[in-house]
Amino acid sequence: MKILFYDTKSYDKDSFQQVLKNYPQVTIEYTKSDLDPRTAALAEGFDAVCAFVSSDVGTQTVEILHQKNIRLLLMRCAGFNNVDLESAAKYGIRVMRVPGYSPEAVAEHAMALALASNRRLHKAYNKVRENDFSLSGLMGFNFYQKTAGIVGTGQIGAAMCRICRGFGMKVIAYYLYQNPSLNDFVEYVPLEKLLADSDVISLHCPLMDSTYHMINLDTIRQMKDGVVLVNTSRGALVKTDDLIEGIRMHKFAGVGLDVYEEETDNVFEDRSDEILEHSTTARLLSFPNVMITSHQGFFTREALEAIAVTTLQNALDWMEGKSSRNDVKQ
């Protein structure tokens, strides 16, 4: 079985090559190009392609993959909102993903963003490097005995609930489905109550029509003044222009973002020599209480190994005609 691996970074290749020795049935060729309509034709002669959350696997891309006889799309990530599932089903292209590679990695990063934005660690680091040892502008608040509101309690959200409990926080949650493993310490509440009562709000739900721009000016106004907002899930959960308006209204003590609406052109790329003239990201970074990281929540050794193992096992299941809980269906 031959797989074309799109958008290859050095750490991707290292982690997959380490695991690949256990899958002699599979060969991988790597390309630095990301998957989109311009590069889909590179897949000719392969059985499958491996793509990531930044890939454009829309209708046009899927049609080209079909023309090149691709039968399997391996998403080496949990998200699949960038995939045209209807077209994939139409052309008989099976879509598989990695739903739970390391929930603790993302949850730990979410808490790191919450702490760093609240205590202004990014600002403190830069002040000290310039020999400024004053404490002005660095005031935060204790998380102990405060309320954490977790939106989405799948594997990552559940891990975040447990971390918040370890900080001595009261944990409330909103989700369509309750996680029974959390029943002993998490109270499920309506979204309106979570927004009104939480001192820290962390987003861990998938991006769907019902969650698109769920954080907007209306929901921001329902939040406490001085709340900390964290998003490590999907950028479009938050309407960025409304978030900026909320920051200007002094609604937030801190904002920590590992994902954001404009990230497609930025994620995993070095743009340090460019001037981002019309960038919403640059506007966000102009605020002292905002901390942004570049979609690195998953980025641990353990997570990369789990992604490689699960992706290659998905490929093997496809080869052997087995069903899998990692199948993505329309």
Residue 327 lies in a domain: no
Q: What angle do CA 201, 134, 121 make, to 5 degrees?
A: 30
Residues 37 and 64 sit within 8 Å (Cβ to Cβ): yes
pLDDT above 80: residue 271: no
Confidence bin at 269 (pLDDT 50/70/90): low
The predicted structure's pLDDT at residue 275? 64
304 and 284 fall within a common domain: no
Report pLDDT for 247. Answer: 97
> In terms of domains, do 120 and 17 share one?
no
User: Are 16 and 93 in the same domain?
Assistant: yes
For residue 261, what pLDDT is reported? 86
Distance (Å, whole) CA 186 – CA 272: 42
Q: How would residue 15 be classed by pLDDT, with cut points 50, 70 and 90? A: very high
| 324 found inside a domain | no
pLDDT at 99: 86
Whether residues 169 and 284 share a domain: the answer is yes
Considering only residues 2 and 208, tell me which one the structure prediction assigns the higher pLDDT.
Answer: 2
User: Model confidence at 264, in pLDDT bands (50, 70, 90)?
Assistant: low
Say if residue 139 is in the same domain as residue 214.
yes
Statement to judge: residues 127 and 200 lie in one domain: yes
In this prediction, residue 267 carries a pLDDT of 58
Among all chains, which residue has been given the structure tokens 């809980």? Answer: 325
Distance CA 277, CA 280 (A): 9
* Cα–chain center distance at 81: 11
Instruction: Check residue 78 and give its pLDDT.
Output: 85
Q: What is the DSSP letter of 35?
A: P
Q: Are residues 173 and 192 in the same domain?
A: yes
Q: How far is CA 221 from CA 188, 200, 225, 323, in A?
A: 21, 15, 9, 45
What is residue 282's predicted lDDT score, i.e. its pLDDT?
81
Domain assignment present for 17: yes
Claim to verify: residue 84 and residue 161 sit in the same structural domain: no
Higher pLDDT, 157 or 266: 157
Is residue 172 classed exposed, middle or buried when 0-12, 13-18 and 19+ CB atoms within 10 A define those classes?
A: buried
Residue 102: per-residue pLDDT: 86
Q: Which helix (H) or strand (E) holds 280?
A: helix 280-285
Residue 191 has pLDDT above 70, yes or no: yes
pLDDT of residue 330: 74
Question: Closest Cα partner for 75 from 322, 318, 266?
Answer: 318
pLDDT score of 265 more than 90: no
pTM comes to 0.86
Is 159 found in the same domain as 278?
A: yes
Position 270, amino acid: D
Q: Residue 51: which CATH number? A: 3.40.50.720
Kindly state the percentage of the chain with pLDDT values over 90.
86
Q: Does 130 fall in a domain?
A: yes
Give the active site residue among 263, 269, 305, 325. 263
From the candidates 192, 295, 301, 320, give the one annotated as an active-site residue: 295
Is the predicted pLDDT of residue 272 greater than 80, yes or no? Answer: no
The total number of structural domains that make up the chain: 2
Give the per-residue pLDDT at 54: 86
295 is a catalytic site residue: yes
Give the DSSP H or E segment for 303.
Answer: helix 301-319
Using the predicted structure, report yes or no on whether residue 81 has a pLDDT greater than 90: no
Determine whether 204 is an active site residue: no
User: Among residues 122, 204, 234, 261, which one is catalytic?
Assistant: 234
Question: Domain range for residue 183?
Answer: 103-292
- Confirm whether 326 is domain-assigned: no
Residues 113, 31 within the same domain: no
Is the domain of 140 the same as that of 159?
yes
Q: Is residue 10 part of a domain?
A: yes
234 noted as active-site residue: yes
pLDDT at 289 over 70: yes
The SS3 call for residue 230 is strand
Flag whether 325 is in a domain: no
Q: Is residue 234 part of a domain?
A: yes
In this structure, the dihedral spanned by the alpha carbons of residues 289, 159, 192 and 142, taken in order and rounded to 10 degrees, is -40
**Domain co-membership, 174 together with 283:** yes
Can you tell me the distance from the alpha carbon of 12 to that of 51, in angstroms, rounded to the nearest whole number?
11
Q: Which of the four pLDDT bands, split at 50, 70 and 90, describes residue 239?
A: very high
Mean pLDDT of 247-268: 84
Instruction: Give the tokens for residue 180.
Output: 């029974």
